[in-house]
Amino acid sequence: MLRFKPSYLLVGLALSGYHLNSTAAGFALFEQGASGLGNAYAGASAVAEDASTIFFNPAGMTYLEGRQIVGALHLIKTNGDFDNKDSTPTGPEGGNLGSLAAIPNLFYKQDINEQLKFGLGISTPFGLKTEYDKNWLGRFQAIKSELKTVNINPSLAWKLNDQWSFGFGVSAMWAQAELTSAVNLGATESSINNKGKDWGFGYNLGAIYQVTPDTRLGLSFRSKVEQHLKGDARSPFTGLNAIPGRTLNTDITADLTLPETLSFSSFSHLNDRWDLLTDVTWTRWSQFKSLSIMRDNGSNTAVGTTQEHWNNTLRYSVGVNYRYTDTIKLRTGVAYDEEAIDNNHRTPRIPGNDRIWLSFGASWQYSPQTKFDVGYAHLFIKEARIHDDQTSLVPSRGLVSGKYDGSADIFSMQFTHQF
């Protein structure tokens, strides 16, 4: 069984007390600093407005002077309802599977010399939570699905000349996953809770090219992070556990690959009032083919293997800034975010679909050293149809058939201080 170590506890205390809700494709989270939310994160790899660039493109640190700290908090409210059609067994539809989340970020940047910059980011790049009522009709496939991550990302940036800047960072990512479902034991039912965690490691690269004094292009890449989760499966049912060889309680392992991303952004200062920002981000979700939870002896747990067969995705966004006064900047943006899951492979654990972002925001330069940002986005999520028949794998898991309707609202606040 995996036990908490002091380092795990430190990270848990740093970003504790929240539940994650996926707001981008799959279970990715774009909420990395509030200044970009008002533009739907258009131009994120090129704008280099504050230290949150450490996540999106570390090369952007060369556009920032001195020492800077950024703290942000994102409140995310998701809503989702299942509408049954021909599912077996029949029963309740599961209630609202969304929830309210509070997700913090912290970024710090300082100069080493005129050309070399250092930064440190602590953020949450992936997260998910769906939870149904315990007696819903699809309880043998899923009740609760939750993923938490914390990414610690030290970075360096180097300014080659007035046109080119480059950045590099390493990532130490902690992940914890929890999956629960009901188990049909014939004469009775029980439940099984699978929970595991691990550290994984990756890197990120970035470059910015200053095309003209008013226009720059940004290119950034974040590597995949492979997680080898270890933990345990536990059930409150004691009858089966008392039979040798038939226990539901066991140590488990599960492999999870968090995908790589590639982003191309532009930022253009059109005139004294207006900026134009664009972005295209590619995510390699295709390597998420199945979710398998294995006992230490190599056999499946009661949750077993779920086939996923996800697709690579593209996210497109465009935004504008308007300088209302010397101290107030207004933002807006739209984005189209493809989902990695198609209708043939959607499961109750992650029933997402394509979404459209509509975002607004504002910045207030309170003093030469201090700035406040706020942002709001509403996500219109396309109706998601599901026909997940798992009776051929385990007859008692049944068929979940129908459609999901969902939406999300995000409100973000950010404090930036230069010192």
Domain regions of the chain by residue span:
6-418
pLDDT of residue 291: 64
**Residue ranges with strand state E in 312-398:** 313-323, 328-337, 355-365, 370-389
Nearest one of 39, 23, 118 to 373, comparing CA atoms: 39
Taking phi first (over 0 means left), then psi (-120 to 50 degrees means alpha), and beta for anything else, what does residue 40 get?
left
Contact 167, 207 (CB under 8 A): yes
Q: Is the dihedral of CA 268, 271, 272, 277 positive or negative?
A: negative
Nearest one of 206, 336, 347, 205 to 288, comparing CA atoms: 347
Ordered per-residue pLDDT tens for the chain, 419 residues: 333 333 333 333 333 333 344 566 667 777 788 899 999 999 999 999 999 999 999 999 999 999 999 999 999 998 889 999 989 888 999 898 888 888 999 999 999 999 999 999 999 998 888 899 999 999 998 999 888 899 999 999 999 999 999 999 999 999 998 888 888 877 788 888 888 999 999 999 999 999 999 999 999 999 999 988 888 888 776 555 544 444 567 788 888 888 999 999 999 999 999 999 999 999 998 877 666 667 665 555 555 556 667 899 999 999 999 999 999 999 999 999 999 888 888 889 888 889 999 999 999 999 999 999 999 999 999 999 999 998 877 777 889 999 999 899 999 999 999 99
Burial of 353: CB neighbours in 10 Å, binned 0-12, 13-18, 19+? buried
Q: Tokens 């504790």 map to which residue?
A: 16
CATH number for the domain running over 6-418: 2.40.160.60
**Residue ranges with strand state E in 270-327:** 274-283, 290-295, 300-307, 313-323
Bridge partner residues of 364 (DSSP):
328, 372
Collapsing DSSP to helix, strand or coil, 378 comes out as strand
Nearest one of 379, 332, 389, 392 to 359, comparing CA atoms: 332
Quote the CA–CA distance of 298 and 291 in Å, as a whole number: 14
Contact 28, 335 (CB under 8 A): no
